[in-house]
Each structure stands twice: as C-alpha cells, then as structure tokens.
Amino acid sequence: ELKVEQNPLFLSMQEGKNYTIYCNYSTTSDRLYWYRQDPGKSLESLFVLLSNGAVKQEGRLMASLDTKARLSTLHITAAVHDLSATYFCAPSFYGGSQGNLIFGKGTKLSVKP
C-alpha cells in the first residue's frame, strides 16, 4: 500500500525558532513536491525535488530529498508569522508521472510572536 506520512501534523512554534517537517513514504520514488496552502486558499508550489540528494532553498525554507531513506524534510529557519500555513509533501510513484502523485495529509504550522 502506498503511504505518505507527514509529521508532525500540527506544529506551533515561536517566531525566531527553527524546526523541521518530515515526509516519509512507503515505496520507491525519485521525485517529490512541496506545496503550501493558506487557510481557505489554493495550493502553491514551493519546491520540486527531482533526484536523490536534491536540496532547494527559498528564503527561510529549505527542502531536501533522500530517496534511499524514502524521506524528505522541510526545514524552517528563524520562523516568522508569514510562514503560518499548511504544508503538503507529494512524492510521485511508479515512474514518476503526476498521475501517481500521493499527497501527505499536511502539516499545519502556526508561528506565534
């Protein structure tokens, strides 16, 4: 069975702190996407990770992919309130086409002053 597990599912953190969101998946995948969703809004793409060892950074967010460990991480550095949102990972299985994307359940991040 294909499984994508994100943890934590809920994360409350203070501004200025660092934290990591984990995305584990159950079978081979060599590409993975991260998306952000603000409350009541649509999803926007954050990162596309296309190979083992890929690392992408944008502002205070950095994503990495370890295909051997079946793990991706989203690291938050010095969090600010504007990062409050729900973050989804989505690995692609069975050849990597987007018809085989499976989304995690999301990590709801709340950054407090």
Partner 1 sequence: DAEITQSPRHKITETGRQVTLACHQTWNHNNMFWYRQDLGHGLRLIHYSYGVHDTNKGEVSDGYSVSRSNTEDLPLTLESAASSQTSVYFCASSRDRYNSPLHFGNGTRLTVT
What are the residues binding partner 1 (CB under 8 A)? 31, 33, 35, 41-45, 48, 50, 88, 90, 92, 96-99, 101-106
Q: Measured from the CB atom, is 80 or 110 closer to partner 1?
A: 110
Backbone angles phi, psi at 80, to 5 degrees: -125, 160
Least Cβ distance, residue 91 to partner 1 (angstroms): 13
Least Cβ distance, residue 73 to partner 1 (angstroms): 18
Least Cβ distance, residue 99 to partner 1 (angstroms): 5
Q: Measured from the CB atom, is 50 or 69 closer to partner 1?
A: 50
Q: Measured from the CB atom, is 7 or 80 closer to partner 1?
A: 7
Least Cβ distance, residue 110 to partner 1 (angstroms): 17
Annotate the chain with DSSP letters as a single string. Answer: ---EEEE-SEEEEETT--EEEEEEESS--S-EEEEEE-TTS-EEEEEEE-STT-EEEETTEEEEEETTTTEEEEEE-S--GGG-EEEEEEEB-TTS-GGGB-----EEEEEE-
